[in-house]
Structure 1
Amino acid sequence: MSHPHPELSAPPELPKGGLRVIPLGGLGEVGRNMTVFEYDGRLLIVDCGVLFPEDHQPGVDLILPDFAAIRDRLQDIEALVLTHGHEDHIGATPYLLRERQDIPLVGSELTLALLDSKLREHRLRQTVHHKVAEGDRLILGPYELEFIAVNHSIPDALAVAIRTGTSLVLHTGDFKMDQLPLDGRITDLRAFARLGEEGVDLFLTDSTNAETPGFTPTEKSITPVIDQVFRESSQRIIVACFASHVHRVQQVLDAAVANNRKVAYVGRSMVRNMGIARDLGYLTVPPGTLVEAKQLAELPPERQVLVSTGSQGEPMSALSRIAQRSHHFVHLEEGDTVLLASSLIPGNENAVYRVINGLARWGARVVHKGNAHVHVSGHASAGELLYCYNIVKPRNVMPVHGEIRHLLANGDLARATGVENVVIAEDGVVVDLVDGVASIAGKVECGYVFVDGSSIGGITEADLKDRRILGEEGFVSVIVVVDSVSGKVTAGPEIHARGIAEDDKTFDAIKQPIIDALDAALAEGNTDSYQLQQLVRRVVGRWVSNSLRRRPMIIPVVVEA
């Protein structure tokens, strides 16, 4: 098994007839999925998604793939293929289109509809669209693409087979093998087997659930639990789920109709996405079921169902505001039921439990994955992955979509079925497929690109470190005026602190040592303001560390009179 090496150099020129694969996101993390293929001088991109920030990335709104490796080759891009409509696969597309607006977009009907809505928000004009469905074939430059139906937690997901003059690649996108999907659209294993017979040179497979044994339960398996929640609830029901989970919302609508309840959507993305899904026929809304949220409030509680965003504890989401009793028209009452019908994304645990506690405090019954079978994954578990390896029989495997432990577990599954060459790569690691053999060829620049308000890429890891220090350790400013002629401190030090001490008088004890240190430095002829500021920083830092056991951000200002 090949492993990426942190000291890899830039890749050499691609041999003639070779296919290059460059993951720019999604390998070593769950999100930010983006893979670039290069053949015969032309580029093809599969997916362009975002990663959502964690607690240690304060102030960051989104994290994008790093486009640096392809920025000087934007005109070589044949198309961007989108496997499905989740944010971690389409969310960064507007930012790529800002760099070259006419990149052709390829995707299924629902995927492109969700993306179009996003592009309008970014005020980007519509680019060339190729709307495709399972079974379709499309030729773009040197690439022949074939699209295969796969089942996932959003309708209309596709795997893509990529044929070049020398190789056949199969990229699953995100998928599972639900044999009883709500929409009847199963993963097309016959197509996988047919491609296997043709000879798959490189198989890129979803790794998210590679550590989970067996098979992912069917979506229908949670229907009885949802029905039971509806039957047992005598007051209002609030359901929180992802704004893209059309199948989950369908289950809620069906349960509401069966229990003579009306439904309203809460949250801008929920209203938008479910409207698109309904208009395109992916969501069936029985007549008279859906009402505006303010109309719903006029009904008795036992006839109300709210479908809300905020299942991950997002602080500005509808559910978080309901838990804080700050929502402008939804007021939680004792006896209401809240159903969190979603997974718990790693890193969001504290935020979710904070919301659950807030809801419970007001007397709500909270039903969630921890106490009921109210969610099933959208990703293939180990048994499904083994099944795919056995029917595809690929020559080479490159696990994608997952943290490093997921990639390694997926690689072990492939080897267990007899695959001899498994390449474990991470973001930026270049893999070349030459003469039927995939191997690591080098590495390209590939970091995190942070979106912070209107700033894209202007925030660095150093900035985030400063923010963490400010948030965790506090801030101290020190202003001193010196006279380089007399060699003395003439005013100050004036010290202000935030988030570290009750009042600024705490720092009175350090004022004289600052004066003494500066007088000594000035007496030795040191008048450089930067060096004097560093001296102040060292004196204050040492004292704060010893006296207060803290390491705040220290901003010294030395002014020459």
Structure 2
Amino acid sequence: MPTKLKIKSNEVAVYALGGLGEIGKNCYGVEYKDEIIIIDAGVMFPGDDLLGIDYIIPDYNYIIENQDRIKGVVITHGHEDHIGGIPWLLKQVNLPIYAGPLSLALIRGKLEEHGLLRDAKLFEINVDSVLKFGGDMWVDFFRTTHSIPEPVAVAIHTPEGVIVETGDFKFDFTPVGEPADLHKMARLGEEGVLLLMSDSTNAEIPIFSNSEKVVGANIINIFERIEGRIIFASFASNMFRLQQAIDGAVKTGRKVVVFGRSMEKSIVNGLELGYIHAPAGTIIDPSEVSKVPSEKLVIMCTGSQGEPMAALSRIANGMHRHITLQTGDTVVFSSNAIPGNTSGVNRLINTIAEAGAEVIYGKMNNIHTSGHGGQQEQKLMLRLIKPKFFMPIHGEYRMLKIHAGLAQDTGVLKENCFIHENGDVLALTRDTARLADHFRADDIYVDGNDIGGIGNAVLHDRHELSEDGIVIAVANVDIAKKKIVAGPDLLSRGFIYMRESGDLIRSGQRVLFNAIRTALNEEGINEAGVARAMRDALGPFLYRETEREPLVVPMVMSPDK
């Protein structure tokens, strides 16, 4: 049976499957009667504590259970935290996807990798599109400004009022791309908006974010000062920044080579869609690098966040097949470290410096600016939209709380601001708003192609392995005769050096021998019970002797096996 929300027939339900109390995993739902519209389906990247996990996605169970009511998934823009979960969603339920041309190109690439493109239902939209599904809700859009082309905010029109979800935005009055549609925002505000759901990422920053035009001018100034090779690292999805690097190369008479699969795809998509322009011959093939003098080359690559397998890390560690660092190189990081990536970025910078290259980094040199608006921009959005109710989204709890305070500063009543968690259901009418229900909205871990197969127990084991290693205890036991046939023996990886730990190993074997003997005297004992007794005895013994807690794996074998 599908989950049914505890809302009244005239109420509009608004909820998040991801994006509240966190940066990333954006996925929101608006529901009225028998219609549901989903906004975005993003991923979140794991922190250092989630060993071996590739992505975190929302729990899509509510969507799957109610798939017959879902009219479509509308996409605000093409960043991973807004589109990265689409393949994992479509593997479970094939919903129509509505997105701009660039977002669709990026989505198609993802779906092709997962073998899902042929059956996908993809529809192109733009800022003038109007989506009508034959029911009570319809959708239109307005242009915002962000660090990727074609960002849009979503306006969902319901019989009770308009729900606006901003997507990621900033107000850049000298943008590289198209300017935000202030007139449409103001018109919506004048006509009346029931609820605003607004990006909270930079709610702690009290000022306006820098314009991309400022960043572009600084990149050219830096390129003009550098005499050797330039290695330019940035987010592959920041197409405006890629264009600025190409402009800097052209201005200083340099050729451009691109390394990193995601950046290569961005360049190809940007050229095809007209967002990237480069004179013929500017972008060269990797095989031509050796023919270009150092002072005439810009290497654009992925890896600005210190990712171990990204192009920049492989270059820095001497593992790249085309490029190695050399004295006289300058590595330009046109990015800031995402929270959680700081240590990895610092390690990479140290490696680059040790190789004799210079490093120019991020915000301190005004060669990066955020695509998310600070407090002044968030207040401007609130002033333009003038919502009756407000729900901050896309931010950790403290960011949501600050953003709610900004809403109150701009005239939204305190009781009309809702700081929710994923799975909380806000029920709205034209006059009322209340927390009406909650459904399960857990994190789902993606490890390779496995969705949700990695639970807390597995992660706990990985932590133990990473910190204290593993000890395998092996014994051959005849359960029927209640006799130890061989062993017990101990094997260790990442815990002790076996050759130098003879006393500890022999003591451990005695502990295991006694534990097995005791267990065999129990009525109805089986192999699982013996294994449990081995683990329960060996773990505390090793901790007493070493003050370390390796993962203990008991293996009980019987004579006939």
Provide Cα deviations, 1:13-72, integer angstroms capped at 9, x if missing partner: 321121111211111111111011111211111001111122111111222111011212
Matched with 1:513 is 511
Matched with 1:33 is 26
CA distance in 2, matches of 1:71, 1:57: 26
Matched with 1:5 is none
**Within the alignment, does 1:279 sit opposite 2:279 as a pair?**
no
> Once the 2 structures are TM-superposed, how far is the Cα of residue 12 of structure 1 from its aligned partner?
4.5
Match of 1:114 among 106, 115, 140: 106
CA spacing shift, 1:406–1:536, aligned 2, 3 Å: same
Matched with 1:105 is 97
> Once the 2 structures are TM-superposed, how far is the Cα of residue 368 of structure 1 from its aligned partner?
0.9
**Within the alignment, does 1:182 sit opposite 2:176 as a pair?**
yes
Residue type of the alignment partner of 1:462: A
CA distance in 2, matches of 1:117, 1:535: 51
Provide Cα deviations, 1:206-250, integer angstroms capped at 9, x if missing partner: 000011101111111223331232112111101011111111111
Matched with 2:542 is 544
> Once the 2 structures are TM-superposed, how far is the Cα of residue 560 of structure 1 from its aligned partner?
4.8
Q: Tell me, which stretches of 5 or more residues in structure 1 are unaligned?
A: 1-9
How many residue pairs match? The answer is 550
Matched with 1:163 is 157
> Once the 2 structures are TM-superposed, how far is the Cα of residue 528 of structure 1 from its aligned partner?
3.5
Matched with 2:411 is 418
Match of 1:147 among 122, 128, 141: 141
CA distance in 1, matches of 2:528, 2:92: 40
Matched with 1:3 is none
User: Are the aligned partners of 1:80 and 1:106 in contact in 2 as well (CA < 8 Å)?
Assistant: yes
CA distance in 2, matches of 1:523, 1:116: 63
Match of 2:452 among 439, 457, 461: 457
> Once the 2 structures are TM-superposed, how far is the Cα of residue 99 of structure 1 from its aligned partner?
2.3
SS in 2 for 1:57: coil
CA distance in 2, matches of 1:130, 1:517: 65
CA distance in 2, matches of 1:105, 1:459: 28
Match of 1:379 among 372, 390, 394: 372
User: Are the aligned partners of 2:98 and 2:123 in contact in 1 as well (CA < 8 Å)?
Assistant: yes
> Once the 2 structures are TM-superposed, how far is the Cα of residue 525 of structure 1 from its aligned partner?
4.5
Residue type of the alignment partner of 2:505: F
> Once the 2 structures are TM-superposed, how far is the Cα of residue 501 of structure 1 from its aligned partner?
0.2
**Within the alignment, does 1:89 sit opposite 2:82 as a pair?**
yes
CA distance in 2, matches of 1:448, 1:129: 26
SS in 2 for 1:178: coil
TM-score normalised to structure 1 length = 0.94
Residue type of the alignment partner of 1:178: D
Any residues of structure 2 matched to 1:185-224 within 5 Å, and which?
A: 185-224=178-217
Residue type of the alignment partner of 2:102: L
> Once the 2 structures are TM-superposed, how far is the Cα of residue 476 of structure 1 from its aligned partner?
0.9
User: Are the aligned partners of 2:479 and 2:526 in contact in 1 as well (CA < 8 Å)?
Assistant: no
Higher mean displacement: 226-235 or 314-323: 226-235
SS in 2 for 1:355: helix
Provide Cα deviations, 1:53-111, integer angstroms capped at 9, x if missing partner: 2211111122211101121221221111000011111111122222233x222122221
Provide Cα deviations, 1:119-166, integer angstroms capped at 9, x if missing partner: 222222163433222233221233221110000000110001110122
CA distance in 1, matches of 2:378, 2:72: 28
TM-score normalised to structure 2 length = 0.94
Match of 1:355 among 348, 354, 362: 348
User: Are the aligned partners of 2:479 and 2:527 in contact in 1 as well (CA < 8 Å)?
Assistant: no
CA distance in 2, matches of 1:77, 1:23: 15
> Once the 2 structures are TM-superposed, how far is the Cα of residue 367 of structure 1 from its aligned partner?
0.8
Provide Cα deviations, 1:471-524, integer angstroms capped at 9, x if missing partner: 111111112233456644332111111111011633112222322233234345
Percent identical: 39
Match of 2:462 among 455, 464, 467: 467
Q: How much is the aligned-residue C-alpha RMSD, in angstroms?
A: 1.8
Higher mean displacement: 385-394 or 480-489: 480-489
Matched with 1:229 is 222
User: Are the aligned partners of 2:335 and 2:363 in contact in 1 as well (CA < 8 Å)?
Assistant: no
Residue type of the alignment partner of 2:550: P
**Within the alignment, does 1:553 sit opposite 2:551 as a pair?**
yes
CA distance in 2, matches of 1:324, 1:450: 29
User: Are the aligned partners of 1:119 and 1:126 in contact in 2 as well (CA < 8 Å)?
Assistant: no
Match of 2:493 among 458, 473, 498: 498
Higher mean displacement: 248-257 or 186-195: 186-195
Matched with 1:6 is none
Any residues of structure 2 matched to 1:300-339 within 5 Å, and which?
A: 300-339=293-332
CA distance in 2, matches of 1:181, 1:207: 21
CA spacing shift, 1:484–1:126, aligned 2, 3 Å: closer
User: Are the aligned partners of 2:477 and 2:557 in contact in 1 as well (CA < 8 Å)?
Assistant: yes
CA distance in 2, matches of 1:314, 1:126: 33
User: Are the aligned partners of 1:79 and 1:140 in contact in 2 as well (CA < 8 Å)?
Assistant: no
CA distance in 1, matches of 2:553, 2:74: 48
CA distance in 2, matches of 1:554, 1:402: 39
Match of 1:528 among 520, 526, 543: 526
Residue type of the alignment partner of 2:150: D
Residue type of the alignment partner of 2:257: A
Residue type of the alignment partner of 1:179: F
> Once the 2 structures are TM-superposed, how far is the Cα of residue 532 of structure 1 from its aligned partner?
2.6
CA distance in 2, matches of 1:324, 1:511: 43
Residue type of the alignment partner of 1:423: F
CA spacing shift, 1:12–1:156, aligned 2, 3 Å: closer
User: Are the aligned partners of 2:13 and 2:428 in contact in 1 as well (CA < 8 Å)?
Assistant: yes
> Once the 2 structures are TM-superposed, how far is the Cα of residue 287 of structure 1 from its aligned partner?
2.6
Residue type of the alignment partner of 2:80: E
Residue type of the alignment partner of 1:122: H
CA distance in 1, matches of 2:549, 2:429: 53
Residue type of the alignment partner of 1:339: V
